Amino acid sequence: MLLDTYGRVATDLRVSLTDRCNLRCTYCMPEEGLQWLAKPKLLTDDEIVRLIQVAVTGLGIEEVRFTGGEPLLRPGLPGIIERCARLSPRPKISLTTNGIGLERTAHALHAAGLDRINVSLDTLRPEVFQQLTRRKRHADVLRGLAAGRAAGLTPVKVNTVLMPGLNDDEAPDLLAWAMEHGYELRFIEQMPLDAQHGWHREGMITAGDILTSLRSRFTLTPEGEEERGSAPAERWIIDGGPHRVGVIASVTRPFCSACDRTRLTADGQVRTCLFATEESDLRGALRDGASDEEIMALWKRAMWGKKAGAGIDDPSFVQPDRPMSAIGG
């Protein structure tokens, strides 16, 4: 198993399939100029499946989440999912996506073995979407969401980042919309992981701000710690239930002590945390002919060195060199 020195066990693997994306969210990427990973550095489909197989059959990974960049841009995605779904024990398989193109692929991905999706959507206003993402694709995302739900990729979760002066007035509207459409909304605090290093603590919308805004329209009752388990989102019951809303306070109330994650970048590096400054090279080992046992030993050693916390609140905090899009969000 993937144990660290604080007694945490990683059972949840995030796999980035590409660092490329078809949106340019202002809190994630610059409009242009971001250097993509060179193709030879990217893991092939076979290499990805091999590493997931090692993690699932040998290291106790129970859930695999594909992300990126935008994972729907990876041509081999259905095949990768299909091969992961055949592993024994079969992991839970989910996808974090911006939803563009899901309208066409949702059924096939579900048939391949995808269990559920998280779709990122920050606004209900097409013009704000264009400002935030620098692309006119709002309607595509809405259609992707509906297609995901219709295909049975449920529960469909919606991830929202609020940005000051752009969409920070939309929290109650987004929640009402999500409840009406049967999506589970989760707000994520903006983190210092943008390629252009434009994050400022003073400007960010905090979990406290989000809850105050939601309480202007809804009654929120906190869900117990037991229901939360190792999930990063704190959840609230809305107006007595049955709907819930989640808030991931990654900056103001990080939940590192119960973290159960390990990460694999699109170029085959293990990361213990989004904010880790070190990586362990599995691609090199794989291409040098490492056995499953050798890969397991490298992965275990990497996780053993996992830090207690992300350290954003520590004065010595340094933003990792790689942006979210290259790590896999």
Residues within the interface to ligand SAM (CB under 6 A) = 21, 27-28, 67-68, 70, 96-98, 120, 159, 161, 188, 190-191, 193-194, 324-325, 329
Cβ proximity to ligand SAM: between 55 and 161 the closer is 161
Closest residue to ligand SAM: CB criterion: 329
Cβ proximity to ligand SAM: between 102 and 286 the closer is 102
- C-alpha to C-alpha distance for 303 and 308, rounded to whole angstroms: 11
Which residues, 6 or more positions from 220, have their beta carbon under 8 angstroms from its beta carbon?
A: 211, 214, 236, 237, 238, 245
CB of 99 to ligand SAM, least distance (A): 8
Cβ proximity to ligand SAM: between 4 and 267 the closer is 267
Q: Is 259 annotated as a binding residue?
A: yes
Contact in structure between 164 and 205 (CB atoms under 8 Å): yes
243 alpha-carbon distance from chain centroid: 22
Contact in structure between 162 and 210 (CB atoms under 8 Å): yes
Q: What letter represents residue 253's amino acid?
A: R
Q: Is 291 annotated as a binding residue?
A: no
Q: Is 120 annotated as a binding residue?
A: yes
Q: Is 256 annotated as a binding residue?
A: yes
Q: Is 191 annotated as a binding residue?
A: yes
Say if residue 48 is exposed, middle or buried (CB neighbours under 10 Å; 0-12, 13-18, 19+).
buried
Q: Is 96 annotated as a binding residue?
A: yes
CB of 62 to ligand SAM, least distance (A): 21
Q: Is 84 annotated as a binding residue?
A: no
Q: Is 14 annotated as a binding residue?
A: yes
Give whole-number Cα distances, 52 to 14, 227, 267, 269, in Å.
Answer: 10, 28, 14, 13
Structure tokens at 56: 């699932």
CB of 12 to ligand SAM, least distance (A): 15
Residues linked to residue 269 through DSSP beta bridges, in sequence order:
281
Cβ proximity to ligand SAM: between 280 and 325 the closer is 325
Q: Is 27 annotated as a binding residue?
A: yes
Contact in structure between 175 and 245 (CB atoms under 8 Å): yes
Cβ proximity to ligand SAM: between 87 and 185 the closer is 185
Structure tokens at 182: 């049967």
Strands 92-97 and 116-120: parallel
CB of 156 to ligand SAM, least distance (A): 12
Cβ proximity to ligand SAM: between 94 and 325 the closer is 325
Q: What letter represents residue 22's amino acid?
A: N
CB of 165 to ligand SAM, least distance (A): 16
CB of 42 to ligand SAM, least distance (A): 16
Cβ proximity to ligand SAM: between 68 and 148 the closer is 68
Which residues, 6 or more positions from 161, have their beta carbon under 8 angstroms from its beta carbon?
A: 25, 27, 120, 122, 187, 188, 189, 190
CB of 198 to ligand SAM, least distance (A): 9
Structure tokens at 147: 């297609």
Strands 116-120 and 157-160: parallel
Known binding-site residues equal 14, 21, 25, 27-28, 65, 69, 96, 120, 157, 191, 256, 259, 261-263, 273
Known binding-site residues for S-adenosyl-L-methionine equal 27, 69, 120, 191
Known binding-site residues for [4Fe-4S] cluster equal 21, 25, 28, 256, 259, 273
